[in-house]
Amino acid sequence: MTPPDASLPLIVPDTGPTAAGSPPATGAAGPSVPALRPSRRRHGPVGNPALWLTALPLTVIVAWAVAPEWFTAYSPLDGVPSENFQAPNATHLFGTDHLGRDVFSRVVFGTRQTLLTAGFAVIIGLVVGTIIGLVAATAGRAADATAMRLVDVLLAVPGFLISLVIVTAFAPGPVSLGIGVGIASIASFARVVRSEVLRVRNLDFVEASFLNGGTYRSVVVRHILPNAAGPVLALLAVDLGAAILAISGLGFLGFGAPPPTPEWGLLIAEGRQYLGSAWWLTSLPGVVIVVAVILLAALGRRLLKTFRI
């Protein structure tokens, strides 16, 4: 019997200890994980068909963001008021909304805003989290204790509350939503980076490069970061999905970007008002979000497998 590892969802926003002195959690930092085996990486990400299977639908979504006008003939902003609340049909795949706008067009045109906002959030988490994690793992016990306390503080204050405060302070928009949601993901990036770096730095070739006269910076940049990048990249994909969801949650609570901006989270959040009588307004954009988030999570898993095994 084989354990169910076929498509193990490895991405969980945590692998580090919750506080100094606590045990290392599962994952790379634990002693049971097999060390990096470069010999098994000969296919690389490019030769992996499963990766392409999840990546292809995502490229369609990216294409929506890049050139939305290729995918729909309708304006996302101007509707025909007399044609409002039409159920999905041949001309309007996703139906029309309360102002007679084509919902599919709003989804397609909303992709860019959605990916930019969520992407910005993830970049913030990535950059700040990487710095904290790197410092924690490489700059000594005192730095580790300090950095991990900082991560604890970020986890102790609900990210959600911070998002609300920031969005309130700076008016909802791509930047404030991105910062608000991004702060919440700093902690998970910091933890993953920390544990990955801890794993990588103990590998023979890293020790060897030190012996060969490498400086702190050159070793970190040339050896540690590239080798720790796999899981971080994987977390990036998953976190992008989580950020899209978090932004939609804020939209639901009334902290979304102002109309007429089409944005996925806002579409389902605002369409919910008509759930009883015009189900498609919230449901169809909702399906798009669910599919996109699942694809991103799958991409994360594929990436992880490609880099690890």
Partner 1 sequence: MARRPVRVTAMLSLAALALTACSSASSTPAAQDAGTGGPVEGGTLVYAEVTPINNWQTQAARFYEKSNVLNSVLDRLTYFDPEQGELVPWIASDFSSNADATEFTFTIRSGVTFSDGSPLNAEAVKLNLDALGLGIEAAQVQPNVDFAGYSSAEVIGEDQVKVTLSSPNANFLRATSSVTAGLVSPATLKLDAAGQSAISRISGSGPFTFESEKPDEEVVLAKRTDYAWAPETAGNQGDAYLDKVVVKYLPEVAHRAGAVQSGQVDLVRGLQPLDEDALAASGNQVLPAKGIDLTVNMAAVRIGSGKLADENVRQALQIGIDRQSIKDTVLSDSYELAASVLNHQAPGFVDLSEELEYQPDEARALLDEAGWDVGADGIREKDGVKLEVTVTSSNNSVVIKPAFELIEQQWREIGVKLDNRAGDNTFLATAMPDPNVEFFGTRQFIYGGLGPIFEPANNTMTHTSDADLNAIFAAERAVTQGPERDELLAREQQALVVDKAYSLVLWDEVQVYGAHSDTHVEFTSGTAPVFQGAWKTGG
Partner 2 sequence: MARYLVQRIGQALLVVWLAYTLVFLAVQLLPSDPVTIFLTVDSAVDQAAIDTMKSQYGYDQPLVVQYLHQLAGLFSGDFGYSLASGQSVRDRISGVAGSTVALAGSAFVTAVVIAVLLVAAATLTRSGVVRRVLVNLPPLFSAIPVFWLGLVLLELLSIRWGVMSLFPDGSFLSLAVPVLVLAIIVSAPLAQVLLKSVSHVYDQPFIDVLRAKGASRSWIFFRHALKNAAGPALTITGITVGTLFAGSVITETVFARSGLGSVVLQAVTTQDVPLVQGLVLLTATVFVVVNLVVDLLYPLLDPRILKSNGQGAPRALTA
Q: Which of residues 33-92 bind partner 2 (CB under 8 A)?
A: 33
Measured CA distances, 208 to 84, 198, 201, 211, 285 (Å): 68, 16, 10, 5, 52
- Closest contact distance (angstroms) between CB of 45 and partner 2 is 20
Site membership for partner 1, residue 84 (CB under 8 A)? yes
In angstroms, what is the minimal distance from the CB of 48 to partner 2?
A: 18
The one among 168, 202, 215, 218 contacting partner 1 by CB under 8 A: 168
Q: What angle do CA 55, 237, 173 make, to 5 degrees?
A: 115
Minimum CB–partner distance for residue 64 and partner 1 (Å): 23
- As measured in angstroms, the least distance from the Cβ of 243 to partner 1 is 20
In the numeric block, the tokens 């969980």 are attached to: 12
Residue 84 phi/psi, 5° resolution?
-80, 160
Contact pattern from residue 135 through residue 164 relative to partner 1, giving x for each residue in contact according to CB under 8 A and a dash for the rest: ------------------------------
Residue 239 near residue 75, CB atoms below 8 Å: no
Near partner 1 in 176-235, by CB under 8 A? none
* 242 touches partner 2 (CB under 8 A): yes
Distance, in Å, from the CA atom of 110 to the CA atom of 281, rounded to the nearest integer, reads 14
CB 270 within 8 A of CB 32: no
Measure the CA–CA gap between 117 and 105, rounded to whole angstroms.
19
Residues 269-298, one symbol each (x = binds partner 1 by CB under 8 A, - = not), give ---xxxxxxx--------------------
d(CA 140, CA 145) in angstroms, rounded, equals: 9
> What gap in Å lies between CA 181 and CA 243, rounded to an integer?
6
Of partner 2, partner 1, none, which one does residue 77 interact with (CB within 5 to 8 Å by kind)? partner 1
Query: Which of partner 1, partner 2, none is residue 258 near (CB under 5 to 8 Å by kind)?
Result: partner 1
81 binds partner 1 (CB under 8 A): yes
Residue count (the chain)? 309
Q: Which stretch binds partner 2 (CB under 8 A): 44-52, 67-75, 107-115, 282-290?
A: 282-290
Residue 28 or 72 with smaller CB distance to partner 2: 28
Whether residue 186 contacts residue 128, with contact meaning beta carbons closer than 8 Å, is answered with: yes
Residues 244-273 that bind partner 2 (CB under 8 A): 245-246, 248-249, 252-253, 265, 268-269, 272
Q: Give 141's contacts (C-beta < 8 A, 6+ positions apart).
A: none
Q: Which residues bind partner 1 (CB under 8 A)?
A: 77-79, 81-82, 84-85, 98-100, 167-168, 171-172, 254-255, 258-260, 272-278
